[in-house]
Amino acid sequence: MRKILLPLALASTILLTSCGSGMKAADRADKNSFAPQADNAAEYKSDESYADSEAYETPEISSISYKQSEVKAINKQMLVYSCDMSIDVLEFDKAVDKIHDLINNYNGFIESENYSDGGNTSKWQYSENEKWKTLHATIRIPSADYDDFCKSAEDIGDMRRKSSSVQNLTTEYSDLKTTLSIYESKEKRYLDILAEIKNEQDAIEVENELTNIQIEIAKIKTRMNNIENDVAYSFINLTLNEVREYSEKPIIERTDTFGQRLKNTISKTWSSFLYFLENLLFIIIRVLPFLIVFGIIIFIIIKIIKFFSKRAAKRNKEKLQQRMQQAPPMMQGAPMPPNPQMIPPNVPPLAVPPVAPPQNNTENTDNNNKGHK
């Protein structure tokens, strides 16, 4: 029995080992066939071969360049220049004349203008010292003379503020041209269709579409014309302010040390205090007439109130005296009856002692005579 079992065990062992090796080979073949599809690699390596291999070479990675592409030049065909200027002048009327002369010399024009003499509509008369004239104007100058005009305007007075800007409308203008060509092609096609249509209803529908297209074409052309005008003539927003005086060079105060800072602070504080007292004095002078008028009115009202109060008191006194004179005279020697209103409550009335009746006069005379005897 042992002799039969031993060969069977050996045979089964050989079969199992052969099956296992076949399965491993099949698995390797499947992995090798799947590797190119999954990883797009040239050769698949297992973890064991990767651990054992000392000469493992990393795959080459293509270097990424972060360098930007070449910058294209900006198209400067449609540039709109604008400038805001604020100038203080001592002689306002002469400065306005100079501005008008500059505009004429550079072939420009005034698009809008706003002038004010500094007066208030609520006051009908002003002195010259109370007026501060100002002028706000939007000036259009040919773009070729934009810089020269700004430099000439700066010399009229003291430049207080200036800001410039440039708007590039080249892209918008190019898009408008493209859109315009599309609408014009569409307009031409609708005109051709309209010429061939004989049905009145279809003709009306085509005419409506053609009208909408022509309206869009008109809008595009209007915008393009505005851009062309803005490019041809630049904007200068000018403000002229009348002043009494100004310093050409700014005053620089040294604040390096503590003593200098203290000195500057005391000087500024004293100047501010004097300015406050000056304004307070002017306010009092302006308000004083109103205070006097109000004081007189209040004084008259108080006098009237006192007069009527004295008159009312006098009348009351006279009425009381008349009532006392009209009252009946009281008997002399008669006891005055007590006033019940003057007796306090919870106080019993006083007991009046009985009065003895008077004796007869004859008895008194008899007693006197007896005494004499």
* Alpha-carbon radius of gyration of the chain: 60
Q: Average pLDDT in the 267-296 region? A: 92
Q: Classify burial at 305, counting beta carbons within 10 Å of its beta carbon; exposed 0-12, middle 13-18, buried 19 or more.
A: exposed
pLDDT at residue 330 above 70? no
pLDDT at residue 189 above 90? yes
Residue 145: count of CB within 10 angstroms of its CB: 17
Cα distance between residue 70 and residue 79, in whole Å: 23
Q: How many CA atoms lie within 13 A of 274 on its CB side?
A: 6
Cα distance between residue 104 and residue 326, in whole Å: 106
pLDDT at residue 199 above 90? no
Confidence of residue 39 (pLDDT cuts 50, 70, 90): very low
β partners of residue 373: none
Give the H/E segment covering residue 241: strand 233-242
pLDDT at residue 61 above 80? no
Angle of CA points 94, 95, 99, to nearest 5°: 120
Q: Is the distance from CB of 81 to CB of 146 less than 8 angstroms? A: yes
Q: Average pLDDT in the 224-247 region? A: 89
Lowest mean pLDDT among 73-82, 157-166, 226-235, 364-373: 364-373
**pLDDT of the residue at 117:** 80
Return the structure tokens found at 136: 């706000």
Cα distance between residue 22 and residue 15, in whole Å: 11
- Residues 6 or more apart in contact with residue 203 via CB below 8 angstroms: 194, 197
Q: For the whole prediction, is pTM greater than 0.75? A: no
Q: In this structure, is the dihedral angle defined by the CA atoms of residues 233, 239, 242 and 243, taken in order, positive or negative?
A: negative
Q: Which of 41, 76, 37, 278 is nearest to 170 (CA)?
A: 76
**pLDDT of the residue at 225:** 94
Most confident range, picked from 22-31, 71-80, 304-313, 331-340:
304-313
Confidence of residue 191 (pLDDT cuts 50, 70, 90): very high
Q: Which residues of 39-72 are buried (b: 16+ CB within 10 A; e: fewer)?
A: eeeeeeeeeeeeeeeeeeeeeeeeeeeeeeeeee
Cα distance between residue 179 and residue 216, in whole Å: 10
Cα distance between residue 282 and residue 277, in whole Å: 9
Lowest mean pLDDT among 89-103, 133-147, 329-343: 329-343
Q: Which residues of 198-235 are buried (b: 16+ CB within 10 A; e: fewer)?
A: eeeeeeeebeeebeebeebbeebeebbeebeebbebbb
Residue 273's identity, in one-letter code, is F
**pLDDT of the residue at 262:** 85
**pLDDT of the residue at 285:** 92
